[in-house]
Amino acid sequence: MIRVLFVDDETAILEGLRNRLRGLRRAWQMAFATGAEEALAELSRREYDVIVTDIRMPGMDGATLLQRVRAAYPHMARIVLSGQTGKECLLRVLPIAHRFLAKPCETADLKAAVERGQSLQTLLNDAGVRQLVGSIGRLPALPPIYRELTEALEQSDTGLDKVASIIERDMSMTARLLQIANSAFCGRARPTTHLRDAVTHMGLNAVRSLVLSAGLFAALDKGNTLKGFSLSTVQTYSLRTARIAFRLLDNHLPDNKEEARTAFSAAMLHDIGHVVLATSLPTFYEPVSALAKAEGLPLYIAEEKVHGFGHAEIGAYLLDLWGLPLPIVEAVAHHHHPDRAGESTFGVVGAVHVADRLAHLDKDSQAEQKIDADYLADTGMLDKLSEWTTLARHVIDDGERHGHA
């Protein structure tokens, strides 16, 4: 049973939610708190899996409440249900809320958000995953520029100009973001030459993911500790996967650029667990490699057979620990098993899964066959596979012509 706490300062809204969700009483244990203080008091008395809160409330607002919940109850899925949808509001809740739902919200959408959030948090709090991450002697330090960005985005007065000014202090990062903005994203009428325009065009999630990815790869580039592991190869394929994932969703959902940007962000980071394990805990792969070779298994299947989980879950756990938005964490966690995400339609998880496979078309003649066809059939997208394969080949060829992934 999923335990959900709803928070709003308007009792009429809470009563409306209670009535709408009455049919879920056998699956959900629900409580309703009028305001943030009452919510914190309730959390001190009982355990909950998910909190759903409004943002604008007198006294302590929803953003501050979620900051408190994140610190005290990190296992909980944090969902915003608010009538505020302005850019300033989104900037503030982006680093602390797993999902953002706008009022009025369909009951089915709310149900899906709660259940997917709780399912992912259960996976991330798996004892085996937590124990293995705890056994890593020293996790890579978060890049200072990433920490500064995250802290800035938690302030209500942070705008795009402030974000750009933080990045501009790092010349190499500025150059990298401008390069990606002009090469990975399509449909621009003219080149992006100013960092603020690049941030606007790419979206804050993509910018944060790029900053995190570039910083972590640089920190871990101290000489490969797993035999045969190439950090530069992983970087190449991560960017290629991101470009393909963006194009897939940009073509499929042309009016929803944010979905495509989120897919790009997740794809950039989808193998970060593999990178951390290969460079910080190479012993993880000793029995895995032996089994994969003996039985001819894909590496991720061998990981799961040996340890019960793999680099996808480890990467998702770390990204959640580092405060990445839940849709990105979710796509990383499920990029080998998109059916586990519970998507009813093709979205970010599916795009990252497909892109991850198709990014290897130039080296693996069986790449297309490794895509989960049952998942594509269930989401009504199986007939798109041939078109997507052609698109991926164009992305790969374009990258080779221009000297990038």
What was the pLDDT predicted at 89?
Answer: 57
Both 235 and 112 in a single domain? no
User: Any idea how long the chain is?
Assistant: 405
Boundary of a domain, candidates 125, 147, 173: 125
Both 178 and 268 in a single domain? yes
Both 120 and 142 in a single domain? no
For residue 332, being part of any structural domain is answered with yes
For residue 130, being part of any structural domain is answered with no
For residue 131, being part of any structural domain is answered with no
Please report where in the chains the tokens 């991926």 appear, as a residue.
392
What was the pLDDT predicted at 227?
Answer: 80
Quick one: which of 199, 139, 162 has its CA closest to 319? 139
Per-residue pLDDT of the chain (405 residues; tens, 9 = 90+): 899 999 999 999 999 999 999 999 899 999 999 999 999 999 999 999 999 999 889 999 898 999 899 889 877 888 888 876 555 555 666 667 777 888 888 898 899 888 888 888 788 878 888 888 888 766 777 788 888 887 887 676 677 788 888 888 887 788 878 877 776 554 455 667 788 888 887 877 788 888 888 888 877 776 557 888 888 888 889 989 999 999 999 887 777 788 888 899 899 999 999 998 988 888 999 999 999 999 999 999 999 999 999 999 999 988 887 877 788 899 999 999 999 888 778 999 999 999 999 999 988 888 899 999 999 999 999 999 999 999 999 988 876 655 555
What was the pLDDT predicted at 90?
Answer: 59
Strand partners, 51: 5, 78
Cβ atoms of residues 394 and 361 within 8 Å: no
Both 145 and 203 in a single domain? yes
Indicate which CATH number applies to the domain containing 205: 1.10.3210.10
Both 89 and 156 in a single domain? no
Both 316 and 379 in a single domain? yes
Boundary of a domain, candidates 125, 151, 177: 125
Give the chain's domain count. 2
What was the pLDDT predicted at 218?
Answer: 78
> 3-state secondary structure string, the chain?
CEEEEEEECCHHHHHHHHHHCHHHCCCEEEEEEECHHHHHHHHHHCCCCEEEECCCCCCCCHHHHHHHHHHHCCCCEEEEEECCCCHHHHHHHCCCCCEEEECCCCHHHHHHHHHHHHHHHHHHCCHHHHHHHHHCCCCCCCCHHHHHHHHHHCCCCCCHHHHHHHHHCCHHHHHHHHHHHHHCCCCCCCCCCCHHHHHHHHCHHHHHHHHHHHHHHHHHCCCCCCCCCCHHHHHHHHHHHHHHHHHHHHHHCCCCHHHHHHHHHHHHHCCHHHHHHHHHCHHHHHHHHHHHHHHCCCHHHHHHHHHCCCHHHHHHHHHHHCCCCHHHHHHHHCCCCHHHHCCCCCCHHHHHHHHHHHCCCCCCCCCHHHCCHHHHHHCCCHHHHHHHHHHHHHHHHHHHHHCCC
What was the pLDDT predicted at 284?
Answer: 93
- What distance in Å separates the CA atoms of residue 64 and residue 66, rounded to the nearest whole number? 5
Both 233 and 160 in a single domain? yes
- What distance in Å separates the CA atoms of residue 45 and residue 342, rounded to the nearest whole number? 31
Q: Which two tokens stand for residue 25?
A: 């009483």
Both 72 and 201 in a single domain? no
Give Cα separations from 357 to 169, 237, 389 (angstroms): 36, 10, 10
Both 164 and 121 in a single domain? no
- What distance in Å separates the CA atoms of residue 351 and residue 252, rounded to the nearest whole number? 10
Cβ atoms of residues 350 and 373 within 8 Å: no
Indicate which CATH number applies to the domain containing 30: 3.40.50.2300
For residue 66, being part of any structural domain is answered with yes
For residue 342, being part of any structural domain is answered with yes
- What distance in Å separates the CA atoms of residue 210 and residue 146, rounded to the nearest whole number? 9
Both 194 and 76 in a single domain? no
- What distance in Å separates the CA atoms of residue 96 and residue 259, rounded to the nearest whole number? 19
Sign of the torsion formed by the C-alpha atoms of 105, 207, 213 and 183: positive
What was the pLDDT predicted at 147?
Answer: 82
For residue 74, being part of any structural domain is answered with yes
Query: 285-295 vs 299-307: helix axis angle to the nearest 10?
Result: 120
Boundary of a domain, candidates 125, 159, 177: 125
For residue 272, being part of any structural domain is answered with yes
Q: Which two tokens stand for residue 304?
A: 């799961």
Strands in 2-8's sheet, in edge-to-edge order, are 28-34, 2-8, 50-53, 77-82, 99-102
Q: What is the CA radius of gyration of the chain?
A: 21
Both 41 and 171 in a single domain? no
Compute CA 218 distance to the chain's CA centroid, rounded to the nearest angstrom: 21
For residue 86, being part of any structural domain is answered with yes
Both 146 and 121 in a single domain? no
Domain, as residue range, for 47: 2-125
